[in-house]
Structures are given as structure tokens and as C-alpha cells.
Amino acid sequence: MRWFWIDRFEEFVRGRRAVALKNVSLAEEHLHDHFPGMPLMPNSLVVEGMAQTAGLLVADAIEYARRVVLAKVAAAEFHFDAVPGDCIRFEAEVLDLKPTGSLAKVVSTVGDRTQGEAELFFAHLEPGDGVPQLFEPQQLLRWLDQMHMYDVGRDEAGQPLARPDW
């Protein structure tokens, strides 16, 4: 399955920090299974939103030269469940960025309450045999445009991000 678990970026500072939003809607099919009569967002999907926010931040930092893959959830703690009607805000920060991998911290909040916290390790894989290309570059750019990444994205000097010319 190829899908994004975030609705849009609110802030994006290349190689440092990103803030993304996910609106939890009762229209989402998985909420009817978790749990009938009392729907809630499974924390595994909250981790997916965290990983996508931080993963796109890391991928952009390395100029999409390698595949960024969630390799390990080093730590995760959840304080309450997100439910339909909530807007989850994912705040990701790159803690360490190396050629072969990176570490990010992500905090999810609902309103002014901390919903969850996680440290995520990403592997950076060389494209080629055994490492599939998940998206066509133009398709990925369209999705990033729809999430407003290039509308809010800035480099460390505060200049707008240039859209890659793939």
C-alpha cells in the first residue's frame, strides 16, 4: 500500500525540523475496527504518521539520494488515544544525520496535550537491486506539493526551499 499518513505540513526547516498535521476522521475505515462503538486511532498508525513526517524531513536533508526506511522505533510512549475529531500535530526534529542512517525525535500533540513521543532510527539505503523504488519522482513531488511542503519549507538560512528538478 502506498499512502501518506499526514495531511499537510505546517512547518518544514530543511535538515532540522518539520511539523505536520493529521486530521482524524470517522470516515477512515480502520476506525470502525478499533473499536466498534468506541473508535480510536491505533498508536501503530500514530507511529506511521511520526515516521512519515520525520522520514520526509530526512529524505529531503539527503536530497533524496538514498531510500529512507524506518529501521527501528528506539523508544515510544503514548499518553492517551487520539479519536475522531482530533487533529494530531507531529513535530519532528533530526537528532543525528549520517550517510547511512539518522535519528529523529517526534512528539505528537492533540491541542495543547502531548499525545505521544518517539525516537525513530532510519536506515539510508542505496537504490538498486533489492531496494525498490516506491514512487515515481514526479508522483512524489505532486504529493509533497499537495501537503504544502514547498509552500512552508525553508532552508536553515530561512530561504524558501527550491522544488527538486527531477
Residues recognised as catalytic: 34
* First-to-final CA distance of the chain: 24
Length of the chain in residues, anyone? 166
Separation of CA 80 from chain center: 20
| Rounded Cα–Cα distance for residues 156 and 103 (Å) | 19
DSSP 8-class letter at 147: T
Nearest-Å Rg of the Cα atoms of the chain is: 16
Q: Among residues 96, 90, 118, 121, which one has the least CA distance to residue 105? A: 118
| Residue 146 buriedness (CB in 10 A; 0-12 / 13-18 / 19+) | exposed
